[in-house]
Amino acid sequence: MRCAVIGGGAWGSALADLLAKGSHDTRLWAREPDVVASINARRENPRFLPGVPLHPAIAASGDMAVVLDGADLVLYVAPSHVLREVVRAGRKHVSGGAIITVAAKGIEPETLLLMTDVVASELPRNAVTAMSGPSFALEVARGQPTAVVAASKTASASAVVQQTLSSNTFRVYTTEDVTGVELGGALKNVIAVATGIAEGLELGLNSRAALITRGLAEMARLGVALGAQPATFAGLAGMGDLVLTCTGALSRNRAVGVEIGRGRTLAEALSGTESVAEGVRNTESALALAARCGVDMPIAAAVHRVLFEHRSPRDAMTDLMNRELRAERDE
Amino acid sequence: MRCAVIGGGAWGSALADLLAKGSHDTRLWAREPDVVASINARRENPRFLPGVPLHPAIAASGDMAVVLDGADLVLYVAPSHVLREVVRAGRKHVSGGAIITVAAKGIEPETLLLMTDVVASELPRNAVTAMSGPSFALEVARGQPTAVVAASKTASASAVVQQTLSSNTFRVYTTEDVTGVELGGALKNVIAVATGIAEGLELGLNSRAALITRGLAEMARLGVALGAQPATFAGLAGMGDLVLTCTGALSRNRAVGVEIGRGRTLAEALSGTESVAEGVRNTESALALAARCGVDMPIAAAVHRVLFEHRSPRDAMTDLMNRELRAERDE
């Protein structure tokens, strides 16, 4: 199968490596010329996935036409805030029969659309699938066991994604609950900022576990209001990804939270980094969606107050502990 | 209120400290004379909670009569396998009006009873409460924010536990789902052994997140078959405690799993330790309960095969990944 991976970050590189190892004709588009050059010449992505050898059959390019022409499967692995622009830039090269998979996680600020809806609005003829789950790119590239979920309203499309990407160590499960899978991926980053703030304040692991637990509860509340299935939040794309992001190696979202918990400003915490803190960007969108549905998201609201309303991290977390943990008995 | 804490380990000491700080008349029974002596003389429990100052009003004793006589609230904080014996040793000193709280987590091997049922069988006149949730003793003793659940079929009893133990940093929520709360505490240790084995095999954080997710699913399956509420497993005593145990500081259960994953035998992994690996002991009981209910617990079964049936850790985990992760789509 001819596959196009659009996005040369860590996750795009790991997915391209997986496809190439599966003997698929794999082309990778990257924005950065140095990434294109080093993947083609040295079989490595030193900027985003240093030290990991990539499969020699990956053909990297900065030209969307070269990467997209004739592709049967297109994976969009761009950050959420540039996804629409990236899809638009190449859409005339995407054939109507191509199956699309979106690995971007987020909510578009102006429209409050999830990422598959953003793609569908730009590529209305194509079947679109969302892929999510607990999957650090580095571990996937190293061949460590990983399981993710591919969600599509078109069951045949998620089946193709499953068949194309699955290997001995990378397992893809399918579901039709696109909304649940996408919200899991978008909202976990907001909760990860919250657990980062608690870490920066040195509140300990007991409170981190409580925050993760209550965080999943508010994610599921919003999801159900938007038509998602509760079971999705108890699965890999919900609880699985949330636990990984909040307890695994320090993610960008948690790291920003930690800095803020230690007393830095948001601007200071965001400076000097290449990668993206999706949780910072998505906090406002998540709260807008929650307001539209009449759903309470106290942890996301606390993160918003700290990031954008000058509330002190300690006061916000104290309010939260006092308020939110009471909810256990009310459910 | 006069309170008796039966058990001088880390958790018993932290709970006694909490009660004494709340101005309750607090007596602590410990089996080890050196623990009794150092708590009374040095206000520290160097054997189980080294370096943490304990409240000077705690009166430690090795005499059950002294500790239990006149107590309004009795907390049993003994390991699960000695709980019955410890309750029996002092039961003639427990008044019929005393409220009992059980912090032991486990399933009695011969009877398959949960810990509150063990206590109720020895103290049939008393109202019994189970306490559980994500609560490393060290963090509670340091005053870091912690939230737990007190469960009782007698709502007035859990309300007394809540009022007596709650503080600014330690929050106690109440529920009537005793079975769910107790199973959460007992079964998470089995899943923690499984994640430890995966850690010892260096399978990575993606697979740890997947194991935790699927582990909670099988815990909830057994719970529901035994009459527990699904929501309890999504709460502090279910997901919260499981996440803490599987991702926090290395617990005894996980540590045993790690050693076994690295190739040691169970006997080697258990040697040279003071503390107890409840998960090892409870794997067999959990599977017996599951068999009685006709519930499938593939992760617990894999742990059992590794611990007691000479299955290699790598083969058992590979089987599990291949078998169990398929289940995402079937739920």
Q: Tell me what ipTM this predicted complex has.
A: 0.94
Kindly report, residue by residue over B175-210, the tens digit of the pLDDT.
Answer: 999 999 999 999 999 999 999 999 999 999 999 999
Indicate the residue of A175, A213, A241 with minimum beta-carbon distance to B240: A213
With CB atoms and an 8 Å threshold, state whether A248 touches B209.
Answer: yes
With CB atoms and an 8 Å threshold, state whether A213 touches B145.
Answer: no
Supply the pLDDT for residue A323. Answer: 67
Name the residue of chain A whose CA is nearest to B331's CA: A231
Supply the pLDDT for residue A331. Answer: 44
Kindly report, residue by residue over A30-76, the tens digit of the pLDDT.
Answer: 999 999 999 999 999 999 999 999 999 999 999 999 999 999 999 99
Residue B143 · residue A297 · CB < 8 Å: no
Q: Tell whether the model's pLDDT for residue A26 goes beyond 50.
A: yes
Work out the mean pLDDT of chain A and round it to a whole number.
93
Q: Tell whether the model's pLDDT for residue B327 goes beyond 70.
A: no
**Mean pLDDT on B98-126:** 96
Q: What are phi and psi of B45, to 5 degrees?
A: -120, 80
Q: Tell whether the model's pLDDT for residue A181 goes beyond 80.
A: yes
Q: Tell whether the model's pLDDT for residue A175 goes beyond 80.
A: yes
Q: Tell whether the model's pLDDT for residue A274 goes beyond 60.
A: no
Residues 154-183 of A with CB under 8 A from B: 171, 173-175
Cα–Cα dist A273/B217, whole Å: 38
Model confidence, pTM: 0.94
**Mean pLDDT on B27-35:** 98
With CB atoms and an 8 Å threshold, state whether B147 touches A231.
Answer: no
Distance from CA of B213 to the nearest CA of A (A): 5
| Chain B positions in Cβ-Cβ contact with residue A211 (cut-off 8 Å) | none
Name the residue of chain A whose CA is nearest to B176's CA: A329
To the query of whether residue A92 is one of the catalytic residues in this protein, the response is no
Question: Does residue A156 come out as left (phi exceeding 0), alpha (psi in the -120 to 50 range) or beta?
Answer: alpha
With CB atoms and an 8 Å threshold, state whether A206 touches B249.
Answer: no
Supply the pLDDT for residue B318. Answer: 85
Cα–Cα dist A287/A222, whole Å: 10
With CB atoms and an 8 Å threshold, state whether A206 touches B136.
Answer: yes
Confidence at B250, pLDDT banded by 50, 70, 90: confident
Work out the mean pLDDT of chain B and round it to a whole number.
93
Q: What share of chain B is helix, strand, coil (3-state, %, to 5)?
A: 55, 15, 30
Q: Which of A205, A207, A232 to mutate to test the interface with B (most CBs of B within 10 A)?
A: A205
Supply the pLDDT for residue A278. Answer: 79
Confidence at A324, pLDDT banded by 50, 70, 90: low
Kindly report, residue by residue over B125-176, the tens digit of the pLDDT.
Answer: 999 999 999 999 999 999 999 999 999 999 999 999 999 999 989 999 999 9
Q: Tell whether the model's pLDDT for residue A326 goes beyond 80.
A: no
Indicate the residue of B144, B202, B239 with minimum beta-carbon distance to A207: B144
**Mean pLDDT on B24-45:** 98
Name the residue of chain B whose CA is nearest to A213's CA: B240
Supply the pLDDT for residue B292. Answer: 96
Q: Which of B191, B243, B317, B324 to mutate to test the interface with A (most CBs of A within 10 A)?
A: B243
First-to-final CA distance of chain B: 48
Q: What are phi and psi of B281, to 5 degrees?
A: -65, -35
Cα–Cα dist A326/A331, whole Å: 10
Kindly report, residue by residue over A217-272, the tens digit of the pLDDT.
Answer: 999 999 999 999 999 999 999 999 999 999 988 788 899 999 999 999 988 888 86
Q: What percent of chain A is modeled with pLDDT above 70? A: 96
| Chain B positions in Cβ-Cβ contact with residue A316 (cut-off 8 Å) | none
Indicate the residue of B133, B210, B321 with minimum beta-carbon distance to A240: B210
Residue B36 · residue B30 · CB < 8 Å: yes
Distance from CA of B88 to the nearest CA of A (A): 32
Helix intervals (H) in A1-136: 10-21, 33-42, 64-68, 83-90, 115-122
Kindly report, residue by residue over A282-298, the tens digit of the pLDDT.
Answer: 999 999 999 999 999 99
With CB atoms and an 8 Å threshold, state whether A234 touches B213.
Answer: yes
Supply the pLDDT for residue A273. Answer: 65
Indicate the residue of B147, B235, B329 with minimum beta-carbon distance to A173: B329
Span of A241-245, B104-108, B265-269 with lowest mean pLDDT: B265-269
**Mean pLDDT on B268-289:** 83
Q: Tell whether the model's pLDDT for residue B328 goes beyond 90.
A: no
Q: Tell whether the model's pLDDT for residue B323 goes beyond 90.
A: no
| Chain B positions in Cβ-Cβ contact with residue A220 (cut-off 8 Å) | 234
**Mean pLDDT on A104-120:** 95
With CB atoms and an 8 Å threshold, state whether B239 touches A239.
Answer: yes
Cα–Cα dist B174/B185, whole Å: 15
With CB atoms and an 8 Å threshold, state whether B235 touches A244.
Answer: no
**Mean pLDDT on B292-299:** 95
- CB-based burial label for A85 (10 Å; 0-12, 13-18, 19+): exposed
Q: Check A21, A92, A105, A188 and give the catalytic one.
A: A188
Sequential DSSP letters for A208-258 = HHHHHHHHHHHHHHHHHHTT--HHHHTSIIIIIHHHHHHHSS--HHHHHHH
Confidence at A139, pLDDT banded by 50, 70, 90: very high
Supply the pLDDT for residue A238. Answer: 97
Residue A18 · residue A164 · CB < 8 Å: no
Supply the pLDDT for residue A275. Answer: 60
